[in-house]
Amino acid sequence: MGEESQEWAKIRRGRVKRVALVETAPKRPRISNSKKNNSPRTLQQSPLLLISRIFQLKLHLLFDDVIDGCISITMAAKDYKPVERSWHSTVRVGDYLYMWGGLQSDLPEVHNNDKKKALSSLMEVYHLPTGRWEQKPTTGNPPLGICTYASATIANEIFYFGGRCNHDNCYHNSLYSFNVDTFTWRELSPTTPHHGPMMKAHCSMVAFQVNGEDYLAVIGGHGPSSNNTPTQPNAQYDSKGMVPGFKRTNEIHYYKLSSGKWSSPNVTGDRPPPISSFTLTSITNDCAILFGGSTPNGTSNNAYIVNFSHTSVNFSELGEVSKQKPEEQWGHSSVFINSNSGPHLLVVGGFLKNDCWLLDINKRIWKQLVSIIMLYSGKI
């Protein structure tokens, strides 16, 4: 049984709970062009596994007093708390966090029925200034891929791709948008075995912009081998370490919002192997950083700078200067922090891990933190 499949079984039995770091829309720094050992420049909201509960945490970001808010751990409002869940995501838009879906104890193991739709039609909203949770109803049809999906934000919209349906081996490659002003769902691209990314979960998605055009990039993940989309030219699909009938991939797809179409960019540089359960974190309008994940060769602690253009994507593995670096991990969370001392990536947790690391992206130096509180208290 593969690492993620074993962990999924533990979560279903209630042995592991998880929380997620919240990724905010990053301020856009300048990334250093310095290189060492001929390592070119290289490119988060994947979830974090900790033995804790998401409704017990408020995590928003401050570093060197230049980012709105602060990193703190605060009890949520006592009058309402969301139910425990895992394999969900929480994203920030303005002063609010939006948490949707995930594996919950009363989620039916069915493709769709009234109870599942009722659960998936709820959005948990956390107001950062007051520390209060509120559950709000939504309109329209929400995605069926309610667990292990990928998400990203552009302005007042949250985008959700793929995910697991919570019954049998049902996976999706649909793309939905959720408008935080109207609380309305909209299907942009349906689940289909005929085109687009494969039906999958544990992939990552990031928004980027080129010449004023908005795009979404979907990278990696794993899903069933049968009845899936045609393979992408030059992408790899590998079953090593997976349960029978599943494959992990390193395929990369773009979705252009103005045209509503999927495309396959030309891939150059140090393309990662088939990979899942990694983080892909936006650091500029057209650049992101990929870290960790599960691959056919085991768990990874590699970092890549990913540069996007309208028809291509370039990966360059980040050659770290420091000897210290995180252990190989998957199922962790990463957030981008821009400060007076430059752009940083904060990496927390992972499957059966509770460590915390900070990467200085320009200097390519990792530093282990005793806790997130070190950031808040100004100890680094």
User: d(Cα 365, Cα 65) in Å, to the nearest integer?
Assistant: 21
Do residues 290 and 306 make contact, with C-beta atoms less than 8 angstroms apart? yes
Helix (H) or strand (E) holding 360: strand 353-360
Quick one: which of 183, 137, 143 has its CA closest to 162?
143
Query: What is the reported pLDDT for 192?
Result: 96
CB 125 within 8 A of CB 96: yes
Per DSSP, the three-state class of 217 is strand
Cα 346 to Cα 360: distance, rounded to the nearest angstrom: 9
132-160 burial: b if 16+ Cβ within 10 Å, else e: ebeeeebeeebbbbbbbbbbbbbeebbbb
Angle at alpha carbon of residue 57, lines to 53 and 58, rounded to 5°: 150
Amino acid identity, position 275: I
Q: Which helix (H) or strand (E) holds 376?
A: helix 373-376
Q: Give tens-digit pLDDT for 346-357.
A: 999 888 888 899
Whole-angstrom distance, CA of residue 250 vs CA of residue 248: 7
Say if residue 199 is exposed, middle or buried (CB neighbours under 10 Å; 0-12, 13-18, 19+). buried
CA 178-180-183 angle, to 5 degrees, is: 70
Find the angle CA(146)-CA(281)-CA(162) to the nearest 5 degrees.
Answer: 25
Q: Nearest Cα to 222, choosing from 174, 266, 171?
A: 171
Q: How far is Cα 283 from Cα 303, in angstroms, rounded to an integer?
A: 13
Query: What are the tokens at 164?
Result: 């697991």
| Residue extents of the structural domains in the chain | 3-376
Is residue 117 within 8 A of residue 104, CB to CB? The reply is: no
The contacts of residue 360 (CB under 8 Å, 6+ apart) are 341, 342, 343, 344, 366, 367
Per-residue pLDDT reduced to its tens digit, 90-114: 999 999 999 999 999 989 999 999 9
Walk along the chain (380 residues) in steps of 10 and give the mean pLDDT of each run. 49 42 45 39 32 31 30 50 93 97 92 92 97 97 96 98 93 98 98 96 98 98 93 97 96 98 98 98 97 97 97 94 90 92 93 91 93 47
pLDDT of residue 319: 87
Confidence (pLDDT) at 320? 79
Task: Return the amino acid letter for 115.
Answer: K
Residue 371 confidence (pLDDT)? 63
Count of other CB atoms within 10 angstroms of residue 218: 27
Query: For position 5, what pLDDT does the model report?
Result: 52
Helix, strand, or coil (residue 172) = strand
pLDDT of residue 339: 86
The whole-number pLDDT of residue 199 equals 98
Cα torsion 69, 73, 79, 83: sign: positive
**How many angstroms separate the CA atoms of 80 and 84, rounded?**
12
Per CATH, the architecture of 3-376 is what?
6 Propeller (2.120)
Give the whole-angstrom CA distance, residue 190 versus residue 162.
Answer: 10
Task: Give the up-direction half-sphere exposure of residue 148: CA atoms within 13 A in the CB hemisphere.
Answer: 27
Structure-token pair, residue 106: 């009363």
DSSP for 193-208? SSSSSPS-BS-EEEEE
8 A C-beta contact, residue 353 and residue 310: no
